[in-house]
Amino acid sequence: MTDYLDHIGTGIILDNADAFNFDFVPPALVGREQLQRELASKFITIAQPEGSGRVVLTGPVGSGKTVLIRRFCEDVQRKFADQRPIRSAHINCRNASTSMQVVQRIVHTLDPGHPDRGLSIGELLNSIRKLLDRTSSHLIVVLDEVDHVLRRSGDELLYHLLRIDEDQRRNGSVSLILISQEQVLDFLEPAVISRLGQSNHIRVAPYTVDELEEIALQRAEIGLVEGTWDFDVIRLIAEKAGPSGDARRVIEYLNAAVERCEFRQDGVTPPYLTIQDVHDSSEFIAYNVSTKMDHVDDLSGHAMMTLLAICRRLKKSPTMTMGDVSSLYHLICEEYEQKPKSHTTMWKYVKHLEHTQIVVSTISTVEDGRGRTTHLTMPHFLPADIASRLEMLIPKRLR
């Protein structure tokens, strides 16, 4: 029986799986426009016959360093194709972690059939010069995760790449981009730092929640069938990934929710991404519920009822307002035959829940611009699970 394979390739929700690949380079980057302008300023002469650039790019995992450089290389090659032949060699130094391996990968990018056995690094560098001279091309060498090769082989290769045109007929053969999570300049000798230029160091910050939302929205628009998702679900996924600032995590959460939605399809279930898909598909949620449930257990009775009001709404809706909390809290007070606390006290309960990261709040301006509304979400917990626990705890706490 192969019925269990029926969901493979169905594509009821998923339209373009490439959009969820970490190596996918979108046509435009979101949240990195300022960095793109700064990067371009470091290569201001690259369109000229002897121009080149040098950049050191550092930042945490998932901050978009690699996709930023891949987008730049593709864009600069296309834009200046009529002025100068520009090629790029993107080497992942985690996979090619010695100087010899790096140079071999560069040579094979220029000439896949080029022999490399028995050749020294100096001879391979000479081959790179000849291959570039033959076509009058400029080469952008990108060494991604360069700290791996620096630990094993030192910075001698960088020194040679930076001086590749010394005593040659032409200049501007090679540009160099180094990418690393760490402060890579600490690994380099003064002579290499001098040629790279201290001012060519660009630091990349983690993504904000709003930027992660833009990324998730872009991937949804590219990768999902139109009409199978809404903006509230995308925002919930962004808030779930928010503490990490990691673009890979928001893409992973979206992809996992899509897989969960595809799994649910039975010909009757509406083909629509839901908040339950977002919650059910994340192992991260289970970890948080088990490790932070003590925050829930320590709440007072009315704080628990406030949280129960939030959970009951967020089981069905990705977001709710403080007005929703107030009305539902009063209903729950009736349910447990309790006199409601004041609005100020209830607001303090919500702020405490926010402080313990059980809920997340965002503030938006109402349409007429005359006020602001607080919206609450629960990206890191499963509302149904917490509601079940609260319904067990509240009667005991109110005795």
pLDDT for 276: 84
CATH topology for 285-397? Arc Repressor Mutant, subunit A (1.10.10)
Q: What percent of the chain is predicted at pLDDT more than 70? A: 92
Q: Pairing between strand 54-58 and 174-180?
A: parallel
Region 105-109: mean pLDDT is 94
pLDDT for 5: 57
Q: Please write the tens of the pLDDT for every residue from 59-93.
A: 998 999 999 999 999 999 999 999 999 999 999 99
Encoded tokens for 332: 């729950």
Q: How confident is the model at residue 2 (pLDDT cuts 50, 70, 90)?
A: low
pLDDT for 378: 87
Q: What is the mean pLDDT of the chain?
A: 88
pLDDT for 213: 96
Q: In sequence order, what are the residues at sequence separation of 6 or more whose Cβ sits closer than 8 angstroms to the Cβ of residue 165?
A: 129, 171, 172, 173, 174
Region 312-328: mean pLDDT is 90
pLDDT for 367: 58
Q: Which of the two residues, 190 and 141, has the higher pLDDT score?
A: 141
Q: Is the pLDDT of residue 51 over 80?
A: yes
Q: Kindly report the pTM of this predicted structure.
A: 0.77
Q: How confident is the model at residue 285 (pLDDT cuts 50, 70, 90)?
A: very low
DSSP designation for 363: E
Q: Which of the two residues, 8 and 45, has the higher pLDDT score?
A: 45
- Spatial strand order of the sheet with 320-321 comes to 320-321, 372-377, 360-365
Q: Is the pLDDT of residue 115 over 60?
A: yes
Region 209-238: mean pLDDT is 94
Q: How far apart are CA 262 and CA 256, in angstroms?
A: 10
Q: How far apart are CA 375 and CA 359, in angstroms?
A: 10
pLDDT for 113: 85
pLDDT for 384: 83
Q: Please write the tens of the pLDDT for every residue from 246-274.
A: 999 999 999 999 988 888 887 788 889 98
Q: Is the pLDDT of residue 345 over 90?
A: yes
Query: Do 67 and 208 contact (CB within 8 A), yes or no?
Result: no
pLDDT for 264: 84
Q: Residue 173: which of 190, 161, 191 has the closest Cα?
A: 161
Q: Where are the domains of the chain?
A: 3-15+208-264, 32-203, 285-397
The three-state secondary structure class of 245 is coil
Query: Do 77 and 87 contact (CB within 8 A), yes or no?
Result: yes
Q: Which CATH number fits domain 3-15+208-264: 3.40.50, 1.10.3470, 3.40.390, 1.10.8?
A: 1.10.8
Q: What percent of the chain is predicted at pLDDT more than 90? A: 56
Q: Which CATH number fits domain 32-203: 3.60.10.10, 3.40.50.300, 3.40.50.1000, 1.10.10.10?
A: 3.40.50.300
Count Cβ atoms within 10 A of the Cβ of residue 130 and give its class: 0-12 exposed, 13-18 middle, 19 or more buried: exposed
Q: Which of the two residues, 364 and 97, has the higher pLDDT score?
A: 97
